[in-house]
Structure 1
Amino acid sequence: MQASRAELVVDARHGTGESPVWHEAEQALYWVDIPGRTLNRWAAAEGHRQWATPQMPACIAAAAGRPGQWLTGMEDGVHTLTLGAEDQAQVTTLAPVQHARAGMRFNDGRCDRQGRFWAGTMLMDMGAAARVGVLYRLDGTTLQPMLDDLITPNGLAFSPDGRTMYLSDSHPEVQAIWAFDYDPDTGTPSNRRLFVDMKPLPGRPDGAAIDIDGGYWICGNDAGLVHRFTPDGRLDRSLEVLVKKPAMCAFGGAALDTLFVTSIRPAGDLSDQPLAGGVFALQPGTQGLPEPAWQP
């Protein structure tokens, strides 16, 4: 355990704050509240605002060359969101998805270093432990299934050189992180192997980020921690957050040396974690990489 004082950035109290993305040009953090059906933005000089979405958004990526437009995986597919002065996002369907069964939605997702969008699906009833989740790659307006047999796909990330892809399954029955060889020319993962078995470690593996040295940072959901693993899978450090259920992290700030962490606000007594559902900032002692935008 290493000390790094977590600071509250936004007392958002979101049900599930997810998919933080630092927008360098705007010097602003974007993220979603899945059950609250909002896309959120925070900038130090401007504060917090949000746009409503018609479905639950789970993962986002900025659209390259299209200011104010974002790509998002929601319930019935991948859509574009156009943000304006109003508090309602304009939605355009890009790629519908055929789920294996009812009650599913998208979960974790992001772009590879070349701007291809990847996102996984899950059954919202996690208690069913149904292996119906699929990891998709967006090809134009088509969702190409690339991996299946997943319960709760999470932790998607790409190494600095773009040649390693990481993926986790955060379901209590799995709690594993895998690494893949990744062909940046074709967008194809191969040679799947166990990177980290999280069952002996504190927290379930949730959302992730990569630093400039290839360190893999992943939220330890239920443990109130963010872990850093070296490229060879060794646990290097763990930083404390002020809540039990950190959801996903992202590097941001002017020097990309702040680690922003979104979180979940569970039902029940929150007297021991009143800030649950907020967005926090940590000083991790390293820098991140610019988040790739989606290349339409």
Structure 2
Amino acid sequence: MPSTRAAPSPPRAPSETEAVQASKAELVVDARHGTGESPVWHAGEQALYWVDIPGRTVDRWSPEDGHVQWHAPQMPACIAAVAGRPGQWLAGMEDGVHTLDLGCDGQARLTPLAPVQHARAGMRFNDGRCDRQGRFWAGTMLMDMVAAARTGVLYRLDGATLQPVLDGLITPNGLAFSPDGRTMYLSDSHPQVQAIWAFDYDTDTGTPSNRRLFADMGPLPGRPDGAAIDVDGGYWICGNDAGLVHRFMPDGRLDRSLEVPVKKPAMCAFGGPALDTLFVTSIRPAGDLSDQPLAGGVFALRPGTQGLPEPAWQP
């Protein structure tokens, strides 16, 4: 396993006057999802797709059609469109990777593609996406986060086989690829870790190397959750528990943070006709939500930059 080395200049917490910006987050869908995750902007449809993990749904929203959803027989955690197959998606779920056909009856039909051998019971996939070349990557986790079990594995999908690439993770998250595809980012959002790593990435073979600490979020507000990349290589990551979305520059410097009106933003994705809207999904925890009634919703921010088209899986 590659060694870890510290970033040249660790980020500092944003001050109230410098980095945290009131962002005028717009509510897109009052979804009230238990765990809204994996937002993907489908440029061909001009629509946002995402999932609710415990609700077992795949959701879609567009300005023209509003909000619709499909129910799945097991929990979907991360999705990617399938190139050349309209209406079909790839999904990391509980027992492996499946293709999903989203029918007209509100049901998502599963076709098993690549089963996974979990280290123990009670695990599922979590964060995942495609690299710039259309390879699908996804990580697994134990759903009982209190156990803090380092049983999570980052996999690369090779044909119909899941190739384990990195192990020893608790809650893998924050997977993203730089605009040129030559840097891979990965975080572990568990409270005992709260780290983001960068890797050199061989675009020909899909091999990460030279693992290094990109940002230690322990001193910063929020745990590192799902992420997105902008055209300048800025790495946007949700600060779970802090109601913030942070932007780190490629050198590891914390550039700024945007507020959302919920405590647990989960993942973000650029979308809209010009890819200049940052959509943010969120988590609706149990308990008193009087201070965050919109928890579990999907929000839109205008961050002042543009994102990149999300690659589809190349079967």
Q: Same fold (TM over 0.5)?
A: yes
CA displacement, residues 1-55 of structure 1 (integer Å, 9 cap, x when unaligned)? 1232000000000000000000000000000000000000000011000000011
The aligned residue for residue 65 of structure 2 is 46
Match of 2:169? 150
CA distance in 2 between counterparts of 1:217 and 1:151 reads 21
Match of 1:245 in 2: 264
The yes-or-no answer on 1:295 pairing with 2:299 is no
Matches within 5 A, 1:25-64: 25-64=44-83
1:113 pairs with 2:132: yes
Match of 1:236 in 2: 255
Give the deviation of 1:94 after TM superposition. 0.2
**Over 3 Å off, 4+ runs:** none
Supply the distance in 1 between the matched residues of 2:200 and 2:166 (Cα, whole angstroms): 14
**1:292 counterpart SS class:** coil
Structure 1, unmatched stretches of 5+, are: none
- Match of 2:142? 123
Instruction: Output aligned runs, 1:1-296, within 5 Å.
Output: 1-296=20-315
How far is the alpha carbon of 1:274 from its aligned partner? 0.2
State the partner residue of 2:6.
Answer: none
Partner Cα separation in structure 1 for residue 258 and residue 200 of structure 2 = 28
Q: Which amino acid aligns with 2:55?
A: G
CA distance in 2, matches of 1:8, 1:258: 12
Deviations 1:103-127 (A, max 9, x none): 0000000000000000000000000
C-alpha deviation, 1:90, in angstroms:
1.2
Alpha-carbon distance in 2 for matches of 1:146, 1:53 = 28
| d(CA) in 2 for partners of 1:31, 1:3 | 25
Tell me the distance in 2 between the aligned counterparts of 1:39 and 1:83: 9
Residue by residue, what CA displacement relative to the aligned partner does 1:161-217 show, whole Å, maximum 9, x if unpaired?
000000000000000000000000000000000000000000000000000000000
Using the aligned pairs only, state the percent identity.
88
Amino acid at match of 2:139: G
Alpha-carbon distance in structure 2 between the residues aligned to 1:85 and 1:130: 40
In structure 1, C-alpha distance between the alignment counterparts of 2:38 and 2:165, rounded to whole Å: 21
Q: How far apart are the structure 2 equivalents of 1:239 and 1:220?
A: 10
Task: Name the amino acid aligned to 2:309.
Answer: P
1:62-106 per-residue CA deviation (whole Å, 9 max, x = no partner) reads 000000000000000000000121111111000000000000000
Q: Secondary structure at the match of 2:270?
A: strand
Q: Distance in 2 between matches of 1:262 and 1:295?
A: 26
In structure 2, list runs of 5 or more residues that go unmatched: 1-19
- In structure 2, what residue type is equivalent to 1:260? F
- Distance in 2 between the 1:175 and 1:157 partners? 16
Deviation of 1:60 after TM superposition, in Å, equals: 0.2
TM-superposed deviation, 1:276:
0.2
- Structure 1 distance, partners of 2:294, 2:33, is 10
Question: How many pairs align?
Answer: 296
Aligned counterparts of 1:113 and 1:24: Cα–Cα separation in 2: 16
User: 1 CA distance for matches of 2:182 and 2:262?
Assistant: 34
Cα distance in 2, alignment partners of residues 11 and 233 from structure 1: 34
Matched letter for residue 99 of structure 2: T
**Normalised TM-score (structure 1):** 1.00
